[in-house]
Structure formats: structure tokens, C-alpha cells
Structure 1
Amino acid sequence: MKIILLLLVLVFNLNMQAQSVQGSWKLAAENGKAVTGKEVIRIYADSYFTEGAKDPDSNEFLWARGGEYHKKDDQVRIDFDTRQEKPSVELIAHRIEFEEDNSFRVEQGETIQKWIKVSGNKNELTGNWVITGRERNGEMNQMKPGDRRTIKMLGGDRFQWVAFNSATEEFFGTGGGTYIAKDGKYVENIEFFSRDASRVGASLEFNYKVEDGNWIHSGKSSKGDPIKEIWSPYAEAYSRN
């Protein structure tokens, strides 16, 4: 019996250690109280996280935040936060503790949050991307990564794009929802959009391929205009800059 108990404890500990923050998560509770009146989804990938919140009844956009996540030091550096006039550029504590019910607990200042895992699914587009090229008049224009950036996070069957300026702390817009990437087809199902809540519920289908580590994305915009873009891994694009 003692041997069986020891084995069970060992398996439990190994399972907890194997837990990964990568994927998508939903905010379930704050300071012990269930979250109501808002839906908050967070995505972690490639040492980065993004968060988008909306009113589930009206689809009104509530906020967005995100930044670098350093697992080794349990710290984050906020790049954008629409609820703050000036996001923190310093590393702040972000200690994550996994729990038995496929969730994690995190302390942020005086707030203790509980996040429940939505999905840990991965595919070849999982990660943090930044746009580095856009076709105009039949010619692909290269976009050098700088302070003004548009990123797209994909992980756990969820996506979120964000446009912001890391130097001036300006926020330009965001949107997100669920996605499918399979057999060269990429489909976005919009669940929140900061500029126009009426876009919620729309689905957009594109062709895609990954070539030399870059994501080549083509199709038509929500307005019916043809688009072709190149997205590069965020960390690599800025390390080359």
C-alpha cells in the first residue's frame, strides 16, 4: 500500500511539473469570486501573452493587454494595457501556480486570479507573429519591425491580433476569437473586435503556407479586398532588427 501511495504521489508531482502555460485560458475567478459580466481570454506562446476581454451579452470590447512572459523568473513586462495610461515597462511579478483542475492561479499585485485552460492544441501556426510584409499593387512591400508593430498570437485554437506602439504606448486596435489552420486553409471566427462590435460572428477564410519560417497569408479582407501578407516569428524578427 505504501508503495502504491508513493507511486501515486510521484505520478501526480510529475504531472504537475509537466503542466505548461502554453495555450489559451479563460478567466474564471478574481479574489475568490466567480467572474461574471465579462469574458476574458488569454493566450500564451513563445514567451509572450495577450489578453482580450468583452461583454458576452453585447459583444462590447472591454480591454486588451499583453507583453513578454519570462517563465524562468515568473515575471512579465507589459507592452500594452488599455486600462492603464502608461503600461509598466519594468518586469513585474507574475507567479503562476498550477492546480489539479487544469487551471492555474496567479497573483498580480493585490489581485489573485484563477484561469481555466481552454485548449493546449498546437499546429504549425502556433506562436507569436509580427507582420513583416504586405502586398500593394502587385508588389510585396517589406515592413521592417520597429516600435509600431502589429502582432498576431495563435495558440490553443485561439487568435488575437494587436496593433500598438511600444515606444509611445499608443494602442491602435485588437480583435480575436477562434481559428482553424489545416491543409493550407486558415479560418478566423471573430469573437471580439475593438473598433466595431458588429464584426463579431464573422468568419474569414484565407490560404496559408509556412515558407522559410514565415507565414504567407492570402485571401480577401472583410471588405472583400484582396490581401497578401508575410508574418514572421516575433522574437526572430526583433533579434534581427
Structure 2
Amino acid sequence: MIITGSALRHKPFMPMKSLLFFVVFLMISAAQAAEITGAWALKTSEGDNGTLIINEAYLVMSKYDLAGKKFEYTEGGTYTVSNKTLTYVCEFNSADSTQVGLKSTWQGAVSGNLLTLSGDRGVFHFERIDNAGHPMAGTWHITGRAQDGKGDLIRIHQKGTRKTLKILSATRFQWVAIDPGVKGFYGTGGGTYTAKDGKYVEKIEFFSRDNSRVGAALDFGWKLENGRWDHSGKSSKGDPIHEVWEKVGTPAR
């Protein structure tokens, strides 16, 4: 069936009042989401080290003992915000894999630099570390890699549901190796980063696979062009790497 332009004029897809309401709803939801994006530090009476990174439509929460170089737990997934309610769908949980795939709702309240999230798992308080005001802020997935860090980049064609992500705010990063399809969690690490003048530097604050890496600073060549993050240098093991990452949701080239 072909719908002509005149038919569309006589039979609008959505009544004007409904369309206006939909546009306003989107604006409110986007504003609420923007209010909570960035990195947050967990505030507890015990003084636990913990961070929450929220960007675009993904979030990740981690707890660790920085002084003792001990990783405790991490979880994360996708989320939406509406009417100050955050709806979260878990994609990985290092402590409890039964949480993967479950949806939970949280009431969010922002007051100055403080964020409170309350839900059926408790009430959590955070203090803002940064906002998402950096070109690197977002969730990234690897799309290209050079063999042994040398030669031409080879396009990676993702199969199945296993994936490696890097979740960044304006100053903090965390990578995770996961497989939501089988509720698998294979490792994570995170800390602070800087990206400027062709150099990307990570300082590791937690590492689930090897706590001896905590405190190390890793320097990489950095180039960001057309949404593609060109990343080269040496891994935490000292192996040469050359990779390309793209933000989740970026169309394949």
C-alpha cells in the first residue's frame, strides 16, 4: 500500500496534542538523564571506595578497596529515565549472575553535587566527580585490531553476545569483558584517565584479574576522528596493541 503526501496531510500519524505531549516528554526525559550523567563517588559511613559511571544509556557501578588493592564487585547495564524514575536492566554482575537480565526501578534525586538512588535493594548516596562533558564520555566497543599490535587493522565482526566494553565519563574509565547471553563475567578494571594532545593515559585503581596492576599508569597514542577512537601502545601485560573502538550505537562502516 502506498500512502501519498495528501493522505498524510488528511490523516496525521499522531494528533497534534499527542505529538506535543510526546515531544515534551522526550525533552523532560533527556533533561533528567543529562542531570545524572557523569561519574559519582559512593558515600558510605564505612568509607568504602566505590564509583558509579552513567553515560547516555549505560551505567556501571563498582566497589573496591584502593588502599588494599582489592577488587570487590561490579555490575552494570542499560537504563532509561522517566519522571525521576531510573529503570535499569542488568547486563553483568560479578557477585550475583542471577541478576543478569532482571529489570529494577530506582527513584533518583539530585541536590547540588549529591545523588540519591533508592530502590528495593536499598538507598545509595553518591557525590559528583564529574559530568559527561568530554568527547570520550560514552560506552565504547572494540571494532578493529592489528595482529600482535602491528600491521593493518582488521575489522572485528562480533559473533554471539560476548563483548568487551569501555565505559567512560569525563575523567573516569572502566572496561568489562562480559557475555550477557550466558550471564558471563570475565574481568574488569578501572580508574582515572586523561586524553589530550595525542596521548591517552589511564591510571588503574582496581583490576579484578591482577591487583598488582593497581597504581600503574598506562600511556597510549590517542586519536579521535569521526567517532572512531584509535588506541595504540602497550597493554597492562606489556604487549603491543593497536585497536579501534567505536561508541555503542554507532553504525558500522
Is the structural similarity TM-score above 0.5?
yes
* Contact kept in structure 2, 1:122 and 1:157, CA below 8 Å: no
Cα distance in 1 for residues equivalent to 2:105 and 2:127: 20
- Per the TM alignment, residue 108 of structure 1 is displaced from its structure 2 partner at its CA by 2.6
Structure 1 residue aligned with 2:64:
54
Counterpart code for 1:69? Y
Cα distance in 2 for residues equivalent to 1:110 and 1:76: 12
SS at match of 1:95: strand
Cα distance in 1 for residues equivalent to 2:240 and 2:211: 23
- Per the TM alignment, residue 37 of structure 1 is displaced from its structure 2 partner at its CA by 5.4
Cα distance in 2 for residues equivalent to 1:196 and 1:54: 13
140, 152, 159: which one aligns with 1:129 = 140
6, 16, 20: which one aligns with 2:35 = 20
Counterpart code for 2:200? Y
- Report the TM-score when normalising by structure 2: 0.80
Structure 1 residue aligned with 2:156:
143
Structure 2 residue aligned with 1:113:
124
Structure 2 residue aligned with 1:181:
195
Change (3 A) 1:18 1:63: closer
* Contact kept in structure 1, 2:70 and 2:211, CA below 8 Å: yes
Change (3 A) 1:50 1:18: closer
82, 95, 108: which one aligns with 1:83 = 95
After alignment, is 225-234 or 136-145 more displaced? 136-145
Structure 1 residue aligned with 2:25:
none
2:218 aligned with 1:207, yes or no? no
Structure 2 residue aligned with 1:68:
78
Q: Percent identity?
A: 37
Q: Which structure: greater helix fraction?
A: 2
After alignment, is 139-148 or 38-47 more displaced? 139-148
Extract structure 1 runs of 4+ deviating beyond 4 A. 16-19
Structure 1 residue aligned with 2:26:
none
Counterpart code for 1:116? E
Larger radius of gyration: 2
- Per the TM alignment, residue 41 of structure 1 is displaced from its structure 2 partner at its CA by 0.5
Cα distance in 1 for residues equivalent to 2:249 and 2:165: 11
2:51 aligned with 1:41, yes or no? yes
